[in-house]
Structure 1
Amino acid sequence: MVIAHDGTEPGTFERRMEIRPDHMAQGEKMMEDGSFLFGGAILDGAGKMSGGVLIVDFPDRAELDQWLDSEPYIVNGVWRRVEVHPFLVPPQFLTLLPKYAESAAAG
Structure 2
Amino acid sequence: MNFLVVAHDSADGDTLAKRASLRDEHQKGVISYVQSNKLLDGGVIIVTGNPVGSALLFDVPDRKTLDAIIAADPYMKAGVWDRIEIYELARPDPAAMRSLKD
Match of 1:81 among 64, 80, 83: 83
Note the alpha carbon deviations across 1:44-71, whole angstroms, 9 max, x for none.
22x1111010000110111111111101
Counting aligned pairs with the same residue, the percent is: 31
CA distance in 2, matches of 1:86, 1:9: 29
Gaps of 5+ in 1: 96-100, 102-107
Q: Look up the equivalent residue of 2:91 and give its one-letter code.
A: V
Match of 1:4, SS state, is strand
Count of aligned pairs between the two proteins: 94
Match of 2:89, SS state, is coil
Counterpart in 2 of 1:104? Answer: none
Relative to total residues, which structure has the larger strand share, 1 or 2? 2
Mapping for residues 42-57 of structure 1, pairs under 5 Å: 42-45=45-48, 47-57=49-59
Note the alpha carbon deviations across 1:21-79, whole angstroms, 9 max, x for none.
1111100000111100000110122x111101000011011111111110111011100
Q: Look up the equivalent residue of 2:85 and give its one-letter code.
A: E
CA distance in 2, matches of 1:70, 1:29: 13
* TM-score for the superposition, normalised by structure 2: 0.86
CA distance in 1, matches of 2:57, 2:13: 28
Gaps of 5+ in 2: none
* TM-score for the superposition, normalised by structure 1: 0.82
Counterpart in 1 of 2:62? Answer: 60
The question of 1:27 aligning with 2:30 is answered: yes
CA distance in 2, matches of 1:48, 1:89: 29
RMSD: 1.6
